[in-house]
Structure 1
Amino acid sequence: NGHLRWNGTRIFTDIKTGLRRAGEWARQLGRPISSIGVDSWGTDYGLIDGDGELCENPICYRDKRTQSTIGKVFERVSPEEIFNRTGIQFLVFNTLFQLHAHVQAGLPENADRLLLIPDLIHFLLTGKAATEYTNATTTQMVNARSGAWDHELLASLNLPRHLLAEIIPAGTDLGPLKTSVAEEVRLDGVRVVVPATHDTASAVIGAPFEDGFAYISSGTWSLVGVERDSPIINSDVGRRNFTNEGGAFGTVRFLKNVMGLWILESCRNEWQENGIDTDYDSLLAQVSLLEDSRCLIFPADPRFFNPLSMLEALSQHLTETGQRVPTDPAVLTKVILDSLAFRYASVLNSIQSLIGTIHGLHIVGGGSKNDYLNQATANAAGLPVLAGPVEATVTGNVLVQAISGGRFNSLAEGRAHVAGNVRLKKFMPRQTSALEEAFRRYAAIEAPWIEDERERHKVQGFSLCLSGLSGTTGRNKRG
């Protein structure tokens, strides 16, 4: 029907297949499974009817339905008020805008409950409808001070509050699998314990942080931020479009979304479709042999969000910024990775201007396997980098379940256990004149985008960066 949708039935079927196989493996090891929990990406949701069935397949956040919605929302509630209430950055795909677009287009008449993707899976597993806190905050519909749904904000936008489920904390035990599910997957006595259901929240929980370190959860998106005990909500934070997403156990993830390895993966898919072999390890080996790149991009250019052709989008961006367009996959890969490293450094510098000095950087997730990007990030940010664990999201998910089950007494104890059982790689910054020159060129490319976004999305004195485009360019000047 013209929308980009997730196949909800297929997702749940595949999850049940995975559970059945996990159970078989666990029985072979003689280690029975005691609990399971689901995390996923944020903002997307499914609607279920009174019989507990999906009304329709969930629409993907990369769908174009919200592009004309933001202005309509701001006509009713100012962006200043939304940010002051929620502390959440303005992204075009936030659930607030998705739901508004859905209401305008017409919700299914039989919709009885709205559940974010991991909560939807938990419901299908247990029959219990609830919304876990960390993912709820990404909707931009939760009050940052109360931790509850902001019913006044929702009423101002005529959004259906009756569809929303109770917000529960990470670590909540929802009880056992439904009998029908337990029999199908052959898992008896297994309970569903809600983890930090936003995948980045789980990744941050699973990272064995050192004091004073920032983090990057590196994957399709890169989430660059710090862990705090309380949100930071003021006009400067709002102007820079940072966000205060909920974390498990009373923490706050103060961060910015950065377009991550999505750009490179999209290029690799196109190269492969064109018959060009782009084995990841071989590609990075070639990149490491290249001289300093003369071309750079601004990774947060909105045209990179979901283009028909990423290669064409990159070509347009490079041409418009007066640069040649490389055709060699290794050269273009270097352009992307170097630019990401400089973007990370720019965001980290902004964070330091808001909260104080950062002493190091912890990179977790699939992107932490990319040694070239890790070293480039250390160089650009002027900070030591610790990389790993790769499966930080899985680690954090299981850690919350273990704490809930009494295996650990606290998050600190759990993280100490992780630190003693994972091997991290360290990357020290290398200073060169070529790096300084490249960063100056990147800053010149980034600056017009930031200023343009601030002007184009200025509403009632509040500078909006709808694609997370703000940041202060410049390297960390420590030492």
Structure 2
Amino acid sequence: MLGTLQGGTLDLREIRRFPNEPVRQNGSLYWDVLRLWHEVTQALESAADTRLTGVGVDGWGVDYALIGERGNLLENPYHYRDVRNEGMMEAVFERVSREKIYAVTGIQFLQINTLFQFYAACRLTPRIVDAAEALVTIPDLLNYWLSGRLCSEYTVATTTQFVDARRRTWATRLLSEIGLPTRTLPEIVQPATVIGAIRKDAARALAGTPVVAPACHDTGSAVASVCAGGSTAFISSGTWSLVGTEIDAPVITAKARDLNFTNEGGVCGTIRLLKNVSGLWLLQACRRSWAARGQPFGYDALLSEAADDRLSFASLVDPDCHAFLNPSDMPSQIALYCRQTSQREPSGPAAYARTILESLALKYRVVIDSLEELTGRRFDQIRIVGGGARNRLLNQFTADATGRTVLAGPVEATALGNIGMQMLATGAVRSVGEARAVIERSFPVERFEPSATDRWDAQYRRFLDYLEFTCA
């Protein structure tokens, strides 16, 4: 994505779009980072005639790469849904308690976290770990290949569960207690840091262009693009839904731990207090299963059919049920959940979509109600950003389920937040507030007001019962 700032407004233009598909080999699931690198360099070639003032990479958190002594990639990074993570949380808790880990890191417990992934690597492939000189997240890896500088940007570093939330440095003592090596952890840098310049072997025509570490965590960049504090909660909506608010200091309490909230690093000294919800992944996985059976369903057509109120509240599921993490067939798994909870199975693709979207909206309400309890704030509105902001049906359901005004957009919030941090790093703006103001006046926002709240309130009480169900 190419951002151009002119006359106080920002224009965003797509340079290149490409898929990022995991690769299964010998029973394991990997990311094809060399293909990603190829696509990044091709995109830079497309912008070779542009006078760039900066380049920065953001991406998803928790997954990591191991770098050898010559700067080489030791193996393809594992995908966070790989089966090697099974049972690793419990194994770690045998060494150091859940309570102690949370007291230091303030990070939500998910088996996908780098902490548990790296523990699996230390147990299963110790020789590769021993050969590593550095451990970096995926966006840090790409920024390293661009600039030649090995470092870890703060917002994405916090997703590893390796960072002391209060000190904002690596929690080396805790990691050593767990049995994880800390010699591989690079310097932490703050968002909006110029970390170097594009190397000739990365993009000759753009060599010397500053490389900026923006908020390298994609959600960190998305939140950086909008005002997401005070009486506003945010939902960064995509494969995952990150539901939270921006605060000044971490909330590390027994209540936050029991509710499994996370304190991820934000920009300009802030913390993103949030909870990960398994977002549109369920619908994506259903569509993949249907396509494999020769029944491809277009997204828009599916949502149009799902808007039929005759399908409303036929069945509800907990989107975060462990069984939905990576099933071989998502529709079958949802049907099984419905049978196990004495509900009707969805009657077809549109009914599945309706079940998923209504369930997501109700789960958002659970999280936002808990967020109010933890912060003592009242959230009057919800800002939905990211690709999921295009889903007008889910946006309306979210307003209805929560009883709050929803503001949806920008869709490309992550790219805009990344560019906003580059603008700050290179002096084009003086503050994150100024960057947000530029973005706000440059891109449209759609408003959704709550309706039929009594009906949703009744379904919410029913939904809470399903959260108590432990799925197979």
Query: By how many angstroms is 1:209 displaced?
Result: 4.1
**Deviations 1:348-404 (CA, angstroms, capped at 9, x unpaired):** 111111212111100000000000000000000000000000000000000000001
Contact 2:55 2:209 survives alignment (8 Å): yes
> 1:5 Cα shift?
0.9
1:83-140, Cα deviation, whole Å (9 max, x unpaired): 0001111111111111111111114143211111111111111111000000111111
Whether 2:334 is the aligned partner of 1:309: answer: no
1: distance between equivalents of 2:288 and 2:351? 16
Whole-Å Cα distance in 2 between the matches of residues 64 and 218 of structure 1? Answer: 25
Which of 245, 251, 267 aligns to 2:264? It is 245
1:270 aligned partner: 289
Give the Cα–Cα distance (whole angstroms) in 1 for the partners of residues 229 and 269 of structure 2.
18
Indicate the residue corresponding to 1:261 in structure 2.
280
Decide which of 196, 214, 220 is 2:233's aligned counterpart.
Answer: 214
Q: What are the Cα deviations for residues 249-272 of structure 1, in whole angstroms up to 9, with x where unaligned?
A: 101000000010000011111112
The 3-state SS of whatever aligns with 1:253 is: strand
C-alpha spacing 1:243/1:8, structure 2 compared with 1 (3 Å): same
**In the alignment, is the contact (CA less than 8 A) between 2:30 and 2:76 conserved in 1?**
yes
Q: Distance in 1 between matches of 2:230 and 2:169?
A: 30
Q: Which residue of 2 aligns with 1:62?
A: 81
- TM-score normalised by length of structure 1: 0.90
Equivalent position SS for 2:206: coil
1:425 aligns with 2:446: yes
Whole-angstrom CA distance in 2 between matches of 1:411 and 1:11: 29
Counterpart contact for 1:208–1:419, Cα < 8 Å: no
State which of 317, 323, 348 in structure 2 corresponds to 1:297. Answer: 317
Q: 2:150 aligns with which of 129, 132, 136?
A: 129
- Structure 2: how far apart are the matches of 1:432 and 1:71? 40
Q: Map of 1:280-295 to 2, 5 A cutoff? A: 280-291=299-310, 292-295=312-315
Task: Tell me the distance in 1 between the aligned counterparts of 2:262 and 2:296.
Answer: 39
Name 1:16's counterpart in structure 2: 41
Distance 2:449 2:401 in 1: 11
1:13-162 counterparts in 2 under 5 A?
Answer: 13-23=38-48, 27=49, 31-105=50-124, 106-108=126-128, 109-162=130-183
Structure 1 contact 228–253 (Cα < 8 Å) conserved: yes
Amino acid at match of 1:110: A
Between the aligned partners of 2:457 and 2:163, the Cα distance in structure 1 is 42
Contact 1:259 1:299 in 2 (8 A): yes
Deviation at 1:437, TM superposition (A): 2.6
Residues 392-430 of structure 1: CA deviation (Å, up to 9, x unaligned): 000000000000111111111111111111110000011
1:197-212 matches, within 5 Å, as 197-209=216-228, 211-212=230-231
Aligned letter for 2:269?
G
Identity level (%) = 42
CA contact (8 A) 2:45 2:203 kept: no
- Determine if the alignment matches structure 1 residue 188 to structure 2 residue 207: yes
1:439 Cα deviation from its structure 2 partner: 2.0
Q: Quote the Cα distance in structure 2 between the aligned partners of 1:290 and 1:19.
A: 47
Counterpart in the other structure of 1:344: 364
Which portions of structure 1, spanning 4 or more consecutive aligned residues, are displaced by more than 6 angstroms?
A: none
Distance 1:149 1:340 in 2: 34
Tell me which amino acid in the other structure corresponds to 1:230: A
| Structure 2 counterpart of 1:192, one-letter code | V
Moved more, 66-75 or 91-100: 66-75
Q: Distance in 1 between matches of 2:319 and 2:127?
A: 35
Determine the structure 1 residue equivalent to 2:13.
Answer: none
* Contact 2:156–2:216 (Cα < 8 Å) also in 1: yes
Question: RMSD between aligned alpha carbons?
Answer: 1.5
